Structure 1
Amino acid sequence: MDNNSQKIRVLLVDDHPLVLDGIRSRLEDDGHIDVIAEASNGEEALHLAGEHKPDIVLMDINMPVMNGIEAAEKFSAELPDIRLLMLTMHDSREYITRVLKAGAKGYILKDVSSNEMISAIKAVYEGKTYYSSGVTDILVNEGTNKQVPLTDREKTILQLLAEGNSNKHVARELDISVRTVETHRRNIKRKLSVKTSAGLVKYAIENGIVEL
């Protein structure tokens, strides 16, 4: 981007005023970025975005009233032309995948340098996706988990669980004990290196075991 290019118009969203001040200062030092507004929660961000039409929304996840994941879903539905870049301290696989599914175009951690934050904004503005190095490592490691084979019985149980059935319902369906279902569930989580039910559902969807 040269000096004659139009500035990238950014809306900052974070519920900590000191964080907002720090980010604004870091971005405006670049000369190619214009922070046009600031919001302290997702609901306010949606209102301001509709009013100011920023190019990029740089948004935290944990916020009152409406968090970043909920806001990302609403942005995708109501303001799809505005690109979302998440800036957060959360480096868990679950947060990353939920945000990306909600429509965010990038995910960077709050410990990134000023230069990397600016590079992320410019990349997303140009229509690319951007993940900071720590996020990329997590996504790559997640990909390796997909190579772990599940038995046919484990796949059947995973399918039933991912469809929202309880352990008791799965036990009745397969004519096995609830304890056996719980054991299979623990083994599946261990094999896939996931800790939550959401992680199981995500794996099942991405690997064609269930459909959305």
Structure 2
Amino acid sequence: MQPIRVLLADDHPLFRSGLKNVLQADPAFNIIGEASRGDEALLLARGCKPDLVIMDVSMPVMDGIECTRQLKEHDPSIKVLMLSTYSDDAYWQESMEAGASGYVLKRAVDTELIIAIRAVMEGERYIYPTLLGGFHKPGGKAAADELQEEVLSPREQEVLLLIALGHTQQEIAEQLAVSIKTVDSYKTRIREKLNLTKRSDMVRYALKHNIISDKTV
């Protein structure tokens, strides 16, 4: 399998260098370019055609959201993962509307970056879990449930199904061909997104949302 071609766009050289070091340690990634401004990132992306752009929200000349919007208009196949210090609802919602596939807070990059990249590259949408707790819209709890179901990725639903069926983390890891650490990360994200703590709660949620049937458990 060819390495994922990654373009880094962030106006902080030290942070960008840190990202580069993390990704270069994994042969699954190939850093093909770096930019410190949105307009530079747009120009580079059009030239080097990355598979993924890791994009800072706030950059000079052209911000990451506008860069994402123009980039996706030019080439919809390019995936964009937004990084930001901003936890406000407006930023991640606008980022997703612009065409980004994921939104991660910079303070969580050390634990969430690789998970987010894998989700995005598999065609899923990733939003840092704790951001969902601040989401408000008309409709109360029903609206919140709707959002939670929407942002539970196909892989997370798969993990939830296996958890609800009583599989151990080792069994889930073997079945999905991932590490136990990755399974644990998925489990944590599911709990945070859905505000669930017990397996019984996960079973009830999986039944309610037709992830499993009552004949399965």
| Structure 1 length-normalised TM | 0.63
User: Could you say what secondary structure the match of 1:112 adopts?
Assistant: helix
Structure 2 Cα separation of the partners of residues 50 and 66 of structure 1: 15
Over the residues paired in the alignment, what is the CA RMSD in angstroms?
A: 1.6
Matched, 1:72 2:68: yes
Matched, 1:146 2:139: yes
Partner of 1:198: none
Partner of 1:19: 15
CA-CA distance at 1:137 after TM superposition: 2.8
Structure 1 Cα separation of the partners of residues 2 and 131 of structure 2: 30
Matched, 1:55 2:51: yes
User: Could you say what secondary structure the match of 1:58 adopts?
Assistant: strand
For residues 45-70 of structure 1, the C-alpha deviation after alignment (integer angstroms, 9 at most, x for no partner) is 11111111101100001110100111
User: Could you say what secondary structure the match of 1:63 adopts?
Assistant: coil
Partner of 2:92: 96
Partner of 1:85: 81
User: Could you say what secondary structure the match of 1:27 adopts?
Assistant: helix
How many percent identity over aligned positions? 42
Partner of 1:41: 37
Structure 2 Cα separation of the partners of residues 133 and 83 of structure 1: 20
Structure 2 Cα separation of the partners of residues 33 and 146 of structure 1: 42
CA-CA distance at 1:113 after TM superposition: 4.2
Structure 1 Cα separation of the partners of residues 6 and 34 of structure 2: 9
Structure 2 Cα separation of the partners of residues 52 and 83 of structure 1: 14
Partner of 1:120: 116
CA contact (8 A) 1:56 1:83 kept: yes
Matched, 1:10 2:2: no
| Structure 2 length-normalised TM | 0.61
CA contact (8 A) 1:91 1:109 kept: yes
Structure 1 Cα separation of the partners of residues 48 and 15 of structure 2: 21
Partner of 2:104: 108
Partner of 2:178: none
Structure 2 Cα separation of the partners of residues 82 and 128 of structure 1: 13
CA-CA distance at 1:15 after TM superposition: 0.6
Structure 2 Cα separation of the partners of residues 119 and 98 of structure 1: 22
How many residues are aligned here? 141
